[in-house]
Structure 1
Amino acid sequence: MFAWITLLPALYIGGRYILPLHLPLALRLLFFIGVVAVAQCHLVYKLVFGNRFAPEFPHSMMVAINGLFGTLIVFTLLLILCDLISGVQFAIQGTWPDYGLVRHGLLGVAVLIAAYATYQAVKVPRVKTVNLTIQHLPKAFDGYRVVQLTDLHASTLFTGRWMKKVVARTNQLDADLVLFTGDVADGSVEKRFNDVAPLAALQAKDGRFAIPGNHEYYSGYLPWMQRMGQLGFTELINRSVAIEKAGNRLYVAGVTDEAALRYQQEGPDLEQALAGVDRHSTIILLDHRPENARENLAAGVDLQLSGHTHGGMVYGLASIVKRANKGFSSGLYTLDQRHLYVSNGTGLWNGFALRLGYPSEITLFVLKGDDTQAR
């Protein structure tokens, strides 16, 4: 179905831009074949590599493919807009205007927009600081520094060199905790072994904790859990840990992703994750997807950290992503004085590496209490 959907922009460009070009038929045909190939890049990934989630083309080629795919989408939208304006003029004047030169200009605009969107997707993310008030946060944890990384998607697009820069930027934050909310890589452990290796250098005073996202299951769940352990992460598979300071506790809990059920693995279970947890203590929950936030917060969670949506990635698409995730897609949501934070993602799936308006992030939370008394 996805392949048919992405074919539509290619057909539109073929009919409205390529066909009218004053070029030999052979050149127009080659141009059209190239556009179709770009539109069907995900199908090409599956045919060549057996998996559309983990193409193994070189870095520069992956950047180019994403830029061309972005150009395809943007140019289609601009052509549709141009044709709508032409339709209005036809209705008023009775003649269909010739916007041939304008269409060439629109192609140039599309290339520039797509190039910028691709750059925004692949650059090393900036730090986003969120000062967050937690009700009844114990005084010992006032000013506590929690860093969230998510959706790293290590690949030939997001390589070890990029990962090393992410780690260096994270280590400058003097974190008490580093929490990873899933989707570490696209591809097997063998292929991504060196790309994720820099994560071993992450520094946090009270530990590094993680949960799997859906892509860990696509890429080999058990080997990736073992690899994350080698990198120094404690995977919270429907369980929790207590962080103690001055006789007070803060709990970090984690649930698995629903994709686990399709791979005969343990599905998400909040009750199991919170078993033995004092519900009157401060609880941070790691849940890759934000869609269950209302239920999770109602169960006593003070702060849920999620990823998965990549923030919506680009204008327009973000509203669809939000609807698919029960109204959550990017940033901080407060429900009955409890919080959900949906990160835009530190990296991005390399099959759609475009960002406009929803930049990648390394998220630093500085926890503040509005009540200095422990619960």
Structure 2
Amino acid sequence: MKVWQKILIVLTLLVFLVGGLYYDTFYVAPTRFTVRYENISSEKIPAQLNDINILFFSDVHYNNYMTPERFQEVVQLINNAAPDIVVFVGDLFDHPSVLLPNEEVTATLTAQLKEINAPLGKFAVLGNHDLESSTTKELVTSVLSNADFEIITNRSILIRNKGSEAIGLVGLDSQLLGNPDITSAFANVSPNSFNIVVSHTPDIADSLTSDQVDLQVSGHSHGGQVYFPIFGSFYTAPYAEVYNKGKYKIDDKFILDVMNGVGTTKADIRFLSDPEVVMYRLQRKTTPTPTPAS
């Protein structure tokens, strides 16, 4: 084979590769919704909550690229995963103060969110887009409440499963446009219980008392939407600059998980940051009984 023929083959393959990546980034990846399954074990997880599944989702950005048809796929994905608890971690609409959703849009979204099944409860905190104005905050709060989500901004609740044993779920307001009140949120939190923190903005992790947190789950960053391992992200959000994507160990004490979210903003593109929901299975760690000396 002649040199020019080899060059032509290589160039042809490169064109197909670049074309394939372009097509995937713009037309496939934004709707390639996945469930990322994680396990977390601790001696503080009570026996009555062993093997409980908690699903987290964030950054819906409804009413722009996220159409009702697209979001219905997310709802189906969540229900197919069969979680016991569902937690929404902020940004329901995309810039609702610029394009205020009408009654038809809000009614459709409310009905879809109401379809989500979680026998042990559905909970939520708000993101910066939810807090763009008092009108948008009221709207988002109404939609979530009417869809049976309990909003836990700057407070904690106990989650039980047919018994008295419980874990703690702590909600914090968004650092961007919100007012996170860590003191109020942790006022009734015991360091002896297994505690999960949800906050839209991940960088608040550096402000938390690590002995009171076992797991923090956040969104906001979209995993960069387009992510290059060497060069960084297409989309960088304030308060998701220290922790932008994936899992981190904070102070060697607790895990921070920054989700990619399910929606897109600014551009309907995804590369190496597929849209995801994250489901954690709680597993009680037991201390082995010492073997008696013979």
TM class, shorter-length:
0.7 to 0.9
Give the TM-score normalised by structure 2.
Answer: 0.81
State how many pairs are aligned: 266
Give the Å deviation of 1:111.
Answer: 5.4
CA contact (8 A) 1:182 1:214 kept: yes
- 1:221 matches 2:137: yes
Aligned residues: percent identity?
A: 25
Structure 2 residues not aligned, in runs of 5+: 1-10, 289-294
Which structure has the higher relative contact order (CA within 8 Å, separation 6+)? 2
Give the Å deviation of 1:203.
Answer: 0.5
- 1:317 matches 2:228: no
User: Structure 1 counterpart of 2:170, which letter?
Assistant: A
Higher strand share: 2
Q: Secondary structure at the match of 1:259?
A: coil
CA contact (8 A) 2:65 2:263 kept: no
Instruction: Decide which of 261, 281, 305 is 2:217's aligned counterpart.
Output: 305
CA contact (8 A) 1:134 1:368 kept: yes
Change (3 A) 1:134 1:319: farther
Instruction: Decide which of 74, 85, 88 is 1:177's aligned counterpart.
Output: 85
User: Structure 1 counterpart of 2:128, which letter?
Assistant: N
User: Structure 2 counterpart of 1:208, which letter?
Assistant: K
Give the TM-score normalised by structure 1.
Answer: 0.64
Equivalence map 1:112-261=2 (5 Å) = 112-186=20-94, 187=96, 188-190=100-102, 192-193=105-106, 194-218=108-132, 220-245=136-161, 246-261=163-178
Determine the structure 2 residue equivalent to 1:63.
none
Give the Å deviation of 1:171.
Answer: 0.8
- Cα RMSD of the aligned pairs, angstroms, is 2.9
Change (3 A) 1:319 1:135: farther
User: Structure 1 counterpart of 2:73, which letter?
Assistant: K
Determine the structure 2 residue equivalent to 1:24.
none
Per-residue CA distance 1:250-307 (angstroms, 9 max, x = gap): 111111112335xxxxx11111112222231111111001102133252511111100
Give the Å deviation of 1:136.
Answer: 2.0
Instruction: Decide which of 254, 258, 277 is 1:338's aligned counterpart.
Output: 254
Q: Secondary structure at the match of 1:169?
A: helix
Determine the structure 2 residue equivalent to 1:286.
198
Change (3 A) 1:129 1:108: closer
Equivalence map 1:36-75=2 (5 Å) = none
Higher helix share: 1
User: Structure 2 counterpart of 1:159, which letter?
Assistant: T
User: Structure 2 counterpart of 1:292, which letter?
Assistant: I
User: Structure 1 counterpart of 2:146, which letter?
Assistant: Q
Per-residue CA distance 1:149-170 (angstroms, 9 max, x = gap): 1111112321111111211111
Q: Which has the larger radius of gyration?
A: 1
CA contact (8 A) 2:245 2:259 kept: yes
Determine the structure 2 residue equivalent to 1:369.
284
Change (3 A) 1:372 1:216: farther
Structure 1 residues not aligned, in runs of 5+: 1-102, 262-266
CA contact (8 A) 1:253 1:285 kept: yes
User: Structure 2 counterpart of 1:366, which letter?
Assistant: R
- 1:273 matches 2:180: no
Determine the structure 1 residue equivalent to 2:272.
357
Give the Å deviation of 1:189.
Answer: 3.7
Q: Secondary structure at the match of 1:260?
A: coil
Give the Cα–Cα distance (whole angstroms) in 2 for the partners of residues 202 and 142 of structure 1: 22
Give the Å deviation of 1:345.
Answer: 0.8
Q: Secondary structure at the match of 2:176?
A: helix
CA contact (8 A) 1:136 1:372 kept: no
